[in-house]
């Protein structure tokens, strides 16, 4: 390993120089083992944001080093090890559907997921709405459940990419979260450590996403794919629309319900369409089907015939949840104390939706976090959310609010009405898949 020279590297970065790969590797390994201080990590994050960046090669070097600073899983299984990552949006419960569908098609899916923060939801919070289910991240437990069931969805173990956990906490308090280089390294270091054979990246674009701008979303997709492939992980990215919630529900228990409706009732909604597109691309990349179109058909088949729902039920049981969840999920999930419908202010067409504002309304109800560590109420959220282009009459429900109190419901109603615009006509909605990066 190159000699660690953090101060010299930081001085060079301050002068506008890009760090060389060897210095980046030594620095990232130093963050993981504690020989680089938090102050130096903070200075590094700021230098990356303020300077010329790391460049494509530097991004690969940093990501690989962050992977190598902790445990790297090695699988000996009879199928490809696949996973998906989403950059975050609203009403996005694809992971709950895609993981078991991929497993039903012959893949293994050790999905390391995260929690919600701000206006976007977190997969782990959604799963924890299921009574008894544990998402505690442990390498041996992840191995055991994945090998037994075909998929597992858990949090990151402290042994996996420890430099990312430290660097992210520094970025959060120094205003450097938005750095493209650091976003890419953060996402991919954990995926590389999971020992995957292939990865599909769902880069969201729209008012409900962190990237409202198409150019920025495409740049992130390209950076993720280039870096993953440069580090030896086959990947493909889909840029998908996120101007409105992907599911007709937002919240934790209600999004589990939306996922279960796709798994058990073949609803044919936008949520299932995006799931099939992502799954099809990943099955093709993993070598299980000849092309993405055939893969999408395979995912649709696993949803339609109940195989994906059966796998999801076994995963829930293996992670401590009810053994009969796949059949009695409506009875097992927590319900709200108050349900209030929000009526359309006039007749017309739902012309636009501010996805971020809806996400913030759900967080204010208690369904999300304003800060790490905030308690989440799994029972609150929105259901029956109207879609852009839907024709409505005056007073017809645009959404139903699930709240813990009447005061919370009234405040959320004001926010929901402000986020959903009814007009005489709506502009044509964009396709769900806006672009692909291979």
Residue 209 near residue 89 (C-beta atoms within 8 A): yes
338-423 to CATH, choices 3.40.640.10, 3.90.1170.30, 3.30.420.130, 1.10.10.10 = 3.90.1170.30
State how far the alpha carbon of 246 is from the alpha carbons of 242, 258, 270, 275, in Å: 7, 10, 6, 10
Task: Give the tens place of pLDDT for each residue, 330-355.
Answer: 999 999 999 999 999 999 999 999 99
Residue with tokens 């190598």: 68
Level-2 CATH architecture, domain 82-329: 3-Layer(aba) Sandwich (3.40)
Q: Where are the domains of the chain?
A: 6-52, 82-329, 338-423
Backbone phi, then psi, for 50, in 5-degree steps? -90, -20
Check pLDDT > 70 for residue 233.
Answer: yes
How confident is the model at residue 409, as a pLDDT? Answer: 96
Distance CA 113, CA 228 (A): 18
**Which band of pLDDT confidence, cut at 50, 70 and 90, is reported for residue 256?**
very high
Q: H-type helices in 74-138, by residue range?
A: 94-104, 123-127
For residues 435 and 238, the answer to whether their CB atoms sit within 8 Å is: yes
What pLDDT does residue 141 have? Answer: 95
In this predicted model, what pLDDT tens digit does every residue of 199-229 receive, in sequence order?
A: 999 999 998 887 888 999 999 999 999 999 9
Q: How confident is the model at residue 156 (pLDDT cuts 50, 70, 90)?
A: confident
pLDDT digits (tens, 9 = 90+) for 166-186: 998 888 788 888 899 999 999
Compute the distance between CA of residue 272 and CA of residue 383 in angstroms, rounded to an integer. Answer: 17
207's tokens: 């008012």
Q: Determine the pLDDT at residue 117.
A: 65
Dmax (CA) of the chain: 70
Distance CA 140, CA 153 (A): 13
Instruction: State yes or no: pLDDT of 197 exceeds 80.
Output: yes
Consecutive H or E run containing 92: none
Position 268 pLDDT exceeds 80: no
pLDDT digits (tens, 9 = 90+) for 311-324: 999 999 999 999 99
Average pLDDT of the residues of the chain: 93
Quick: pLDDT tens for 354-394. 999 999 999 999 998 767 677 889 999 999 999 999 999 99
Would you call 404 exposed, middle or buried from its count of C-beta atoms within 10 A (0-12, 13-18, 19+)? middle
By C-alpha distance, which of 23, 93, 13 is closest to 48?
Answer: 13
**pLDDT value, residue 114:** 85
Active site residues: 83-86, 123, 171, 186, 190-191
Nearest C-alpha neighbor of 247 from the set 355, 130, 117: 355
Q: What is the pTM of this model?
A: 0.94
């Amino acid at each position: 390993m190159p000699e660690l020279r953090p101060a010299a590297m930081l001085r060079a970065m301050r002068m506008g120089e890009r760090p060389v790969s060897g210095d980046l590797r030594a620095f990232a390994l130093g963050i993981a083992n504690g020989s680089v201080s938090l102050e130096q990590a903070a200075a590094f994050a700021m230098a990356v944001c303020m300077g010329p960046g790391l460049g494509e090669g530097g991004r690969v070097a940093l990501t690989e080093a962050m992977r190598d600073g902790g445990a790297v899983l090695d699988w000996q299984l009879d199928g490809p090890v696949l996973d998906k990552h989403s950059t975050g949006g609203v009403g996005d419960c694809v992971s709950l559907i895609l993981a078991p569908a991929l497993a039903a098609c012959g893949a293994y899916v050790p999905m390391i997921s995260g929690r919600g923060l701000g206006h976007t939801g977190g997969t782990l919070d959604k799963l924890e709405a299921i009574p008894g289910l544990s998402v505690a991240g442990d390498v041996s437990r992840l191995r055991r459940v994945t090998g037994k069931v075909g998929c597992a969805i858990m949090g990151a173990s402290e042994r996996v990419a420890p430099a990312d956990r430290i660097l992210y906490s520094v970025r959060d308090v120094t205003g450097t979260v938005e750095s493209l280089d650091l976003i890419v390294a953060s996402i991919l270091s954990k995926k590389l450590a999971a020992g995957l054979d292939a990865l599909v990246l769902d880069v969201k674009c729209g008012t409900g996403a962190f990237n409202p701008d198409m150019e920025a979303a495409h740049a992130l997709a390209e950076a993720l794919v280039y870096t993953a492939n440069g580090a030896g992980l086959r990947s493909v990215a889909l840029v998908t629309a996120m101007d409105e919630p992907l599911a007709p529900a937002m919240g934790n228990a209600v999004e589990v319900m939306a996922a279960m409706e796709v798994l058990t009732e073949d609803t044919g909604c936008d949520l299932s369409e995006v799931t099939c597109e992502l799954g099809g691309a990943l099955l093709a990349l993993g070598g299980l089907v000849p092309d993405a179109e055939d893969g999408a058909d395979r995912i649709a088949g696993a949803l339609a015939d109940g195989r994906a729902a059966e796998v999801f039920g076994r995963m829930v049981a293996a992670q401590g949840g009810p053994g009969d969840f796949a059949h009695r999920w409506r009875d097992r999930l927590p319900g709200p104390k108050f349900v209030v419908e929000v009526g359309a202010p006039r007749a017309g067409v739902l012309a636009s939706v501010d996805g971020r504002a809806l996400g913030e309304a759900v967080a204010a109800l208690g369904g999300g976090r304003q800060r790490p560590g905030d308690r989440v109420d799994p029972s609150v959220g929105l259901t029956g959310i109207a879609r852009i282009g839907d024709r409505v009459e005056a007073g017809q429900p645009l959404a139903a609010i699930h709240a813990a109190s009447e005061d919370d419901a009234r405040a959320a109603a004001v926010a929901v009405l402000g986020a959903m615009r009814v007009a005489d006509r709506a502009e044509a909605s964009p396709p769900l898949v806006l672009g692909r990066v291979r």
